[in-house]
DNA sequence: ATGTCTTTGTGAACGTGTGCACAAAGATTG
DNA sequence: CAATCTTTGTGCACACGTTCACAAAGACAT
């Protein structure tokens, strides 16, 4: 998420905030569920509850797309599903390649929710010659040597990287050189890409570490009931190591 | 970030901004790499480059933790690794359970970067009786019936949900009732949890859809001011066909 | 038509995050 | 010790995001 902000004077409401874009798939999911239950219309309050957001936020989000609601009634479910799908570019099918068919890559390939949302696995690619030709999720794995040919042959613009971290940048470079302009990276590495290429990352460790941070905070707060956040301040004070750093300067373990 | 009622902004203590917390693991990763190369000190500029962020942002982030740098020199790598680890609560080992040992759950269990970052897989849990006792990643899978016993026995406070969407809320409720207060959710559902429980989600489809949005914008910027009639909307709603895929989120009435 | 009732769409206030730019701190050199 | 050089830590301004609160739009009943 570092796409150079195209400073568009907003001729029309064409500038949808990034935070809104990130929530559209959430709305779409909730709306699809309603659609399957043949619910004709939904209010911002109901839909917001289903998507787990504030209703005012939802209404403002939709206002960036246009005025698709009816006052006093709500939103037409089918119509909104279509509008959001169109906005997200899901009315077309996006061919996707997955590179690195190990534990994670195979799980991704087997993931059903992939195809049901506008994405199609065009190819699976791995560097291991022993894997070449072996089918995973019904799709034969192809060798990295053919990466460029595969990308260009299928007109792939979205790539998923599930290789070890050490190989990720190299794979990324090849993908980009072959024409991929959007990358979803599962490897724990920072990827550098040229302007115009989007990278999003999914990192399990980071998520867990964020949870651990809050978990620790919760555990420390139990001591003082309803009190002021003196503990945090005190803990930080400690780091003002005295003249002789009594705090170990080396990490244990 | 927590789902459910967020009326209370969660004790906005003298705390570290959420955006900063989310970057600390990134810094930690970069610092660990430097540490392994025995680099003694690093400047904000260098470290920022390695972590893929702006150096001013990095310095401001660190300023919330304390004054750990030396002007004219930079930051002591080992010391900073320790301080960030401590802040994130990684100086202790967090036992984690994974519920739902299918394609994804098994991949997560096999993921090495788990243990190397302060987390330990305490148990693997699945509802399939056929899986009980079978080892995955060297750990025998246990049945859901024993979920509460397992959680309490190991003092687990972090749970990972990798079940189908339809089972996620139910699993979540049981985890929370058993004492789990942090959940990492891979199922495409909005989880409701009581106050005090943190939920973070990882959703592949959402990431891909966000990429598709930007991809579409990049590709089709030449024309199409749209304005499609509503009739076209009704004509195309055939996008859903998930035979099993993910069970759509149920709406709380 | 008129009135009432529901719910949208949005202006405005507020909160959070980002990045510039620079004074101050400390290392280092002469 | 003073001068110089490097790099931190942060004040400030601005951009972005969230939430409140309410006028206006439209449905629906009478
Ligand atoms: N498994 C998880 O749950 C998980 C979680 C978070 C992050 N990750 C990350 O995802 C990545 C993959 O994890 P995994 O568990 O599947 O690892 P894995 O070792 O099982 O699979 C890696 C695959 O990548 C292939 N590969 C290696 N170099 C390649 C190259 N240059 N080009 C193409 N393919 C190449 C290997 O042959 C192998 O099949 C790792 O970076 C890991 O850190 C995994
Ligand atoms: N595989 C992926 O790459 C991927 C990507 C994104 C999201 N997801 C989501 O992750 C989840 C798991 O995906 P998967 O591909 O591993 O599915 P899967 O069907 O392979 O595995 C699901 C596992 O959960 C177990 N399970 C079902 N109900 C349970 C319950 N009540 N308690 C405990 N265990 C239960 C099943 O026995 C099975 O082993 C799904 O919600 C999926 O939508 C998967």
- How do residues A19-47 score in pLDDT, each as one tens digit? 999 999 999 999 999 999 999 999 999 99
Query: Where are any strands of DSSP class E within chain A?
Result: 41-42, 69-70, 74-76, 94-99, 119-126, 135-136, 139-143, 158-161, 182-185, 198-201
Residue of B118, B62, B119 lying closest to B91 (CA atoms): B118
Q: Is some CB atom of chain B closer than 8 A to the CB atom of A178?
A: no
The residue contributing the CA closest to ligand 1 atom 32 is: A127
Q: Are A214 and B156 in contact (CB under 8 A)?
A: no
Shared domain for B39 and B121, answered yes or no, is no
Binding-site residues of B for NAD(+), in ranges, read: 100-105
B136: Cα separation from own chain's centroid: 22
Model confidence pLDDT, tens digit, residues B142-178: 999 999 999 999 999 999 999 999 999 999 999 999 9
B15: Cα separation from own chain's centroid: 20
Shared domain for A53 and A138, answered yes or no, is no
Shared domain for A51 and A72, answered yes or no, is yes
> Apex CA A154: angle with CA B241 and CA A157, to 5°?
85
Residue A6 pLDDT:
33
Residue of B183, B193, B189 lying closest to B168 (CA atoms): B189
The answer to whether residue A124 sits within a structural domain is: yes
Nearest CA-CA distance, residue A21 and chain B, Å: 7
Residue A222 pLDDT:
66
Measured between beta carbons, which residues in chain B are less than 8 angstroms from residue A27? none
Shared domain for B63 and B130, answered yes or no, is no
The answer to whether residue B4 sits within a structural domain is: no
Residue of B111, B106, B103, B112 lying closest to B124 (CA atoms): B106
Nearest CA-CA distance, residue A41 and chain B, Å: 14
CB contact (8 A) between residue A158 and residue B215:
yes
The answer to whether residue B133 sits within a structural domain is: yes
Residue-averaged pLDDT of chain A: 86
Residue B115 pLDDT:
80
Measured between beta carbons, which residues in chain B are less than 8 angstroms from residue A51? 190
CB contact (8 A) between residue B207 and residue A198:
no
Spanning CA of B118 to C1' of C13, the rounded length in angstroms is 43
Bridge-based pairing of strands B158-161 and B198-201 is unpaired
Q: Is some CB atom of chain B closer than 8 A to the CB atom of A192?
A: yes
The answer to whether residue A160 sits within a structural domain is: yes
Residues 136-155, chain B, touching A (beta carbon < 8 A) = none
Shared domain for A126 and A201, answered yes or no, is yes
Shared domain for A124 and A179, answered yes or no, is yes
Q: Give the C-alpha separation, A172 to A170, whole Å.
A: 5
Beginning with the edge strand found earlier in the chain, give each strand of the sheet holding B94-99 in spatial order.
Answer: B135-136, B139-143, B119-126, B94-99, B158-161, B182-185, B198-201
Residue B10 pLDDT:
34
Q: Give the C-alpha separation, A47 to A42, whole Å.
A: 6
Q: Measuring from each residue's beta carbon to the nearest atom of ligand 1, which residues come in under 6 Å?
A: A 99-105, 125-128, 144, 162-165, 167, 170-171, 186-188, 204; B 107-108, 110-111, 113
Residue B49 pLDDT:
97
The answer to whether residue A12 sits within a structural domain is: no
Q: Give the C-alpha separation, A97 to A121, whole Å.
A: 6
> Which of A209, A217, A236 has the most B C-beta neighbours within 10 Å, making it the best mutation to test the interface with B?
A209
Model confidence pLDDT, tens digit, residues A87-126: 999 999 999 999 999 999 999 999 988 887 889 999 999 9
C-alpha atoms less than 13 angstroms from C-alpha of B189 in its C-beta half-sphere? 26
Q: Give the C-alpha separation, A204 to A212, whole Å.
A: 12
Cα B94 to averaged position of ligand 1 atoms, centre (Å): 24
Shared domain for B198 and B120, answered yes or no, is yes
For the beta carbon of residue A137, count every other beta carbon within 10 angstroms. Answer: 18
pLDDT band at A66 (very low <50, low <70, confident <90, very high): very high
Q: Give the C-alpha separation, B28 to B84, whole Å.
A: 7
Q: Is A104 annotated as a binding residue?
A: yes
Q: Give the C-alpha separation, A204 to B114, whole Å.
A: 8
Residue B1 pLDDT:
39
Chain C bases closer than 7 A to any CB of the protein: 5-11, 15-21, 24-28
Residues 59-118, chain B, touching A (beta carbon < 8 A) = 65-66, 68, 76, 78-79, 81-83, 85, 87-92, 94, 96, 103-104, 106-108, 110-111, 113-114, 117-118
Residue A173, domain CATH? 3.40.50.720
Where does a domain end: B190, B205, B220?
B205
Q: Give the C-alpha separation, A197 to A175, whole Å.
A: 11
Shared domain for B82 and B60, answered yes or no, is yes
Q: Give the C-alpha separation, B147 to B127, whole Å.
A: 10
The answer to whether residue B250 sits within a structural domain is: no
The domain total for chain A is: 2
Shared domain for B82 and B110, answered yes or no, is no
Instruction: Tell me which residues of chain B have a pLDDT lower than 50.
Output: 1-13, 223-253
Please state the pTM of the whole predicted model. 0.88
Residue B36, domain CATH? 1.10.10.10
E strand or H helix at A211: helix A204-221
Where does a domain end: B169, B190, B205?
B205
Nearest CA-CA distance, residue B157 and chain A, Å: 8
Where does a domain end: B170, B186, B205?
B205
The answer to whether residue B192 sits within a structural domain is: yes
Shared domain for A100 and A193, answered yes or no, is yes
> Which of A15, A112, A117, A220 has the most B C-beta neighbours within 10 Å, making it the best mutation to test the interface with B?
A117
Handedness of CA A134, A137, A140, A143 (dihedral sign): negative
For residue A160, what are the CA distances in angstroms to A92, A93, A112, A153, A198?
Answer: 19, 16, 16, 17, 12
Nearest CA-CA distance, residue A146 and chain B, Å: 24
State which residues form the domain around A99: 94-205
The residue contributing the CA closest to ligand 2 atom 21 is: B102
Residue A90 pLDDT:
96
Protein residue with the closest CA to the C1' atom of nucleotide C27: B72
B58: Cα separation from own chain's centroid: 21
Q: Give the C-alpha separation, A164 to A100, whole Å.
A: 8
The answer to whether residue A44 sits within a structural domain is: yes
Q: Is A102 annotated as a binding residue?
A: yes
Phi, psi of A127 (to 5 degrees): -85, -15
For the beta carbon of residue B53, count every other beta carbon within 10 angstroms. Answer: 19
Q: Which nt sits closest to A73, CA to C1'?
A: C7
| DSSP, res B106 | H
Model confidence pLDDT, tens digit, residues A190-239: 999 999 999 999 999 999 999 999 999 998 866 655 443 433 333 333 33
pLDDT average, residue stretch A58-62: 98
Place of tokens 């009786």: B129
Nearest to A202 among B14, B83, B202 (CB): B202
Shared domain for A107 and A37, answered yes or no, is no
Shared domain for B130 and B181, answered yes or no, is yes
Q: Which residues pair with A141 in a beta bridge?
A: A124
Residue B14 pLDDT:
59
């Amino acid at each position: 998420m570092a796409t150079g902000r195209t400073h568009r004077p907003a001729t029309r409401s064409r500038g949808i905030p990034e935070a809104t874009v990130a929530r559209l798939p959430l709305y779409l999911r909730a709306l699809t569920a309603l659609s399957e239950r043949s619910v004709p219309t939904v209010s911002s309050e109901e839909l917001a509850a289903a998507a787990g957001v504030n209703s005012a936020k939802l209404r403002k989000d939709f206002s960036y797309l246009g005025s698709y609601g009816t006052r006093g009634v709500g939103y037409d479910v089918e119509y909104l599903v279509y509008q959001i799908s169109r906005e997200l570019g899901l009315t077309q099918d996006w061919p996707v390649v997955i590179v690195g068919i190990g534990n994670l890559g195979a799980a991704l390939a087997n993931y059903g929710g992939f195809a049901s949302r506008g994405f199609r696995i065009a190819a699976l690619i791995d560097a291991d010659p022993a894997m070449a030709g072996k089918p995973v999720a019904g799709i034969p794995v192809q060798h990295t040597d053919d990466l460029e040919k595969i990308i260009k042959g299928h007109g792939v613009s979205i790539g998923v990287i599930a290789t070890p971290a050490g190989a990720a940048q190299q794979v990324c470079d090849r993908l980009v050189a072959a024409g991929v302009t959007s990358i979803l990276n599962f490897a724990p590495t920072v990827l550098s890409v040229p302007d115009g290429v989007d990278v999003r990352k999914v990192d399990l460790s980071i998520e867990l570490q964020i949870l651990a941070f809050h978990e620790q905070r919760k555990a420390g707060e139990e001591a003082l009931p309803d009190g002021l956040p003196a503990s945090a301040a005190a803990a930080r004070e400690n780091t003002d190591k005295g003249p002789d750093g009594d705090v170990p300067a080396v990490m244990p373990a």
